[in-house]
Structure 1
């Protein structure tokens, strides 16, 4: 068995802030539904370089994380750095990479979070789908060798191959050719948020802390099967660079608002699929279901779980069953999108959280096919920390009836 460089105890967790960190990066948990859909939406959008965006975001993010991890573990040789990078990939739930043939310009992937996502969510297509792995491998090679590599996937398990194969080519460039984005320093304040709505039946703190304590790390296949989905620990920087580059490219064509709407829809759809899996899981049955007496209690349980996903500290302020939901967040991860990647003059910068909240109400209160639920609830972010507010404020309500949508 390969040496393990990472254990769950290495992750620093602060439940009250909804925060996890490892090797200098704040980690957020999403599942194969969200990750594969986000990638597919960008790569299928002819208005942007979706593949380039996804690959660049991975290379940027993981070059830094791998360098920090190598420094923390005092690794000096390129071979040790590559072994550590492979274990980081496994630990965070992305799959298994084999760098043993890098000297002959090849890297292999023998399991993949993204391939699992595409296989579960979409019919087979004749294209490779491991764009994320291309960026990660480039980051690992650059961090280990001190020179940038171009990485191209030549065979993919999604296309029926036994493994994913990547060709790597050394360039003459600096290992990270991109300029660093300037991180945003924001003064969020938990104390300014309103008091959380009382629900004597649902112990939200117990749920949050229990999920935070689950040893969620990649198994021998580098996957994290839990709550009926495949989870992955992703640095928030990755998602923020992906969404930021996408919105800026859309904004350059006068379609910035459309870009935000697309990101919100991706999150809404994945909220339906992800949290339906969670509610059908053994973990939910053991931990949350005994607290559920009324339908609206499910919303409290779901928000409690969200507080353990690294998305920030999420407070449920008010909920009218089947009608409205108000949540506030002091440090939602999207607010840390670099300022130069945000859409100019935008009033809101958290499309993921907005879409998720709409999806929660559609999941819990509607009993129609998933594809017919989309758009029946809508979230408005009235205040955003990225614009100087002490917290983000989200209000979700019915947008239309199913009959109105069907007639439209």
Structure 2
């Protein structure tokens, strides 16, 4: 495998590869976020998912190739292959496929290992169509960055997400759909001037027996990279070192398109409740109109991330070995998991206030959602750190509404029990870097249901 060089910035909690910010997320969040977008029949979900993948991969690989002009075509494709596997996305036989397709204007590319294919195959019901949109977008972005001409493609009905033995895509040279990539840039004037982009991170305000610096140093010495299948099994989940702006683009474009659709047809609110079962629950106490509806769905994806990823980490052997020896109180579980979060590329999280069993206030410097919004869309007119809100609420539910210290099985039934009880926790955002604040802040409290 060719060498991949992540650049970690300890002062901001940001990690880059080829000038693209990267974050760790697991198969549960990846699957849930994609399904949240796919399940809306009133937006162009296919375009949102494929184009975001093509854009971030194109920008990153274009930057790498500019920095390494000595690479020939085969070496460029080999680097993209290695990057894909290193990040845990699976295996893409780019070199072999392009060699076999030399001189052809259309060809097929197949893979027997895809993170998204395997994640989507976990659905309780069989999908009706292939869902490896990220894989397809990455291939399109890679080929355009490598060769300098437009390509297009589609997924076939042979897909791991459909529980077949491999995923096959059809790629065709030419077309106008992705030609705009050659003029694509990210980085707005708002990003360059926003105070939160250059803010300094303070030391921890709330003290505990947990040594955050030691945890970060220990975890930074562990290499989380794809195995022989290009996958990263860890903490009971499948991790990816993913493009932060992929998440940002798909989330915020979903929000924009759904908000526009609801503005044009308000009656969609009632129809969407049937597409998203979680809304049956949330409509008991949230006015699900306009922006509130899309925000609720994106926060719910964060709830599932917090439950599965953070719960998995706190149930892992690595937690027992590296962090449990520091823990003296139940509250130290929160301090410990926040220290781990600060190794994921999500920015720097700080517990600003903690009232046991009642309230948690989290402040985040350099949150990847806000930074991405500023890069691509400019200043926000509403709080947009949905992942922070969802994860923060799930942490309180894991520690106090449930009892992660007893190592319960992280089943869907347990998720329903602790996240949907009459006294479970909910987060409200009170400051946001994308709105011009120095940090993003969420306040987590118990919320009585109506």
Q: TM-score, normalised by structure 1?
A: 0.90
Q: CA deviation at 1:98?
A: 1.0
Q: CA deviation at 1:28?
A: 0.8
Coordinate RMSD, CA, aligned? 2.2
Tell me if 1:369 matches 2:414. Answer: yes
Q: CA deviation at 1:357?
A: 0.3
Q: Which residue does the alignment assign to 1:380?
A: 428
Q: Aligned to 1:29, what secondary structure does the other structure show?
A: strand
Structure-to-structure mapping, 1:60-71, within 5 angstroms: 60-71=55-66
- In 1: Cα distance, 2:327 partner to 2:204 partner: 22
Structure-to-structure mapping, 1:282-361, within 5 angstroms: 282-339=317-374, 346-361=381-396
Indicate how the Cα distance of structure 1 residues 325 and 176 shifts in structure 2: closer, same or farther if over 3 A, else same: farther
Out of 219, 222, 230, which is 1:211 matched to? 219
- In 2: Cα distance, 1:234 partner to 1:340 partner: 17
Out of 39, 54, 59, which is 1:59 matched to? 54
- In 2: Cα distance, 1:70 partner to 1:326 partner: 43
CA contact (8 A) 1:181 1:338 kept: no
Out of 39, 46, 55, which is 2:41 matched to? 46
Q: Which residue does the alignment assign to 1:398?
A: 446
Q: Which residue does the alignment assign to 1:233?
A: 241
- In 1: Cα distance, 2:50 partner to 2:363 partner: 32
Q: CA deviation at 1:15?
A: 2.6
Moved more, 66-75 or 349-358: 66-75
Out of 122, 128, 131, which is 1:129 matched to? 131
Q: Aligned to 2:109, what secondary structure does the other structure show?
A: strand
Deviation string 1:140-196 (CA, Å, 9 cap, x unpaired) is 111122122212121112323221111101124486425545442232265575852
Q: Which residue does the alignment assign to 1:196?
A: 205
Q: CA deviation at 1:71?
A: 2.6
Tell me if 1:274 matches 2:297. Answer: no
- In 1: Cα distance, 2:220 partner to 2:211 partner: 14
- In 2: Cα distance, 1:108 partner to 1:79 partner: 18
Task: In structure 2, list runs of 5 or more residues that go unmatched.
Answer: 264-289, 403-412
Q: Which residue does the alignment assign to 1:84?
A: 79
Indicate how the Cα distance of structure 1 residues 75 and 162 shifts in structure 2: closer, same or farther if over 3 A, else same: farther
CA contact (8 A) 1:18 1:308 kept: yes
Q: CA deviation at 1:77?
A: 3.0
Q: Which residue does the alignment assign to 1:258?
A: 293
Q: Aligned to 2:206, what secondary structure does the other structure show?
A: coil
Q: CA deviation at 1:340?
A: 8.9
Q: CA deviation at 1:363?
A: 1.3
Moved more, 272-281 or 337-346: 337-346
Q: Aligned to 2:29, what secondary structure does the other structure show?
A: helix
CA contact (8 A) 1:70 1:84 kept: no
- In 1: Cα distance, 2:145 partner to 2:378 partner: 31
- In 2: Cα distance, 1:273 partner to 1:182 partner: 33
Q: CA deviation at 1:345?
A: 6.4
- In 1: Cα distance, 2:43 partner to 2:136 partner: 19
Q: TM-score, normalised by structure 2?
A: 0.82
Moved more, 98-107 or 294-303: 98-107
- In 2: Cα distance, 1:66 partner to 1:328 partner: 33
- In 2: Cα distance, 1:238 partner to 1:76 partner: 26
- In 1: Cα distance, 2:416 partner to 2:44 partner: 27
CA contact (8 A) 1:251 1:343 kept: no
CA contact (8 A) 2:299 2:389 kept: yes
Task: In structure 1, list runs of 5 or more residues that go unmatched.
Answer: none
Count, aligned residues = 396
- In 2: Cα distance, 1:290 partner to 1:119 partner: 38
- In 2: Cα distance, 1:244 partner to 1:46 partner: 17
Indicate how the Cα distance of structure 1 residues 237 and 331 shifts in structure 2: closer, same or farther if over 3 A, else same: same
Q: CA deviation at 1:306?
A: 0.6
Deviation string 1:72-122 (CA, Å, 9 cap, x unpaired) is 333543332222111111111100011222325111222111123223454
Deviation string 1:234-284 (CA, Å, 9 cap, x unpaired) is 121111111121111122133223112211111112211111211121111
- In 2: Cα distance, 1:286 partner to 1:116 partner: 30
Out of 69, 84, 101, which is 2:97 matched to? 101
CA contact (8 A) 1:20 1:28 kept: yes
